[in-house]
Amino acid sequence: MSKKPVGAAAVIMNSEGRILLVKHNYGKYNWELPGGLSEQNESAENTAKREVFEETGLEVTVERLTGVYYEPNHDMHHFVFTCKVVDNQQPQPDAEEVTECNFFNLEDLPRPISDFTISRIKDAFNTSSDHLFHIIGPRQWFE
């Protein structure tokens, strides 16, 4: 029996309180959290760490799980973790997959960006809620 892959993403804040986002060179070319799909027998936590490294060259440590998002339209789960950069490294976009990566102020996130990306960032910093599980509908894009 084969297991379905899961999505995993990382919310990474630098010392100035800015959030790391990447712009992939496929799809809608929108800004997203670094992340992607799990490989066979890979945990969601390890997926997040691997994807951050592949897309930005950054080594990170996982701090905590901030949300599990179920997308019924694709029967898929997305896990989101806050992560910390090891040794003050600077991100470098992976030329094969990412055209840009940069840190942005939470109040001034770049466009285009999806409501799903924005909600995962906000949920990561909402420490007043113990609610980790979310069901998401079709994504909306902000240009």
For 45-84, how does the pLDDT look when each residue is reduced to its tens digit (9 = 90+)?
999 999 999 999 999 999 999 999 999 999 999 999 999 9
Question: Would residue 56 count as lying in a domain?
Answer: yes
Question: Would residue 133 count as lying in a domain?
Answer: no
Question: Which residues form the domain of 59?
Answer: 7-128
* Total number of domains constituting the chain: 1
Higher model confidence: residue 70 or residue 88?
Answer: 70
Question: Would residue 141 count as lying in a domain?
Answer: no
Strand 60-71 versus strand 133-135 pairing type: parallel
pLDDT-wise least confident of 2-6, 15-19, 51-55: 2-6
Question: Would residue 123 count as lying in a domain?
Answer: yes
**pTM for this prediction:** 0.93
Question: Would residue 85 count as lying in a domain?
Answer: yes
User: What gap in Å lies between CA 71 and CA 90, rounded to an integer?
Assistant: 32
Question: Would residue 137 count as lying in a domain?
Answer: no
CATH number at residue 57: 3.90.79.10
The reported pLDDT for the residue numbered 1 is 38
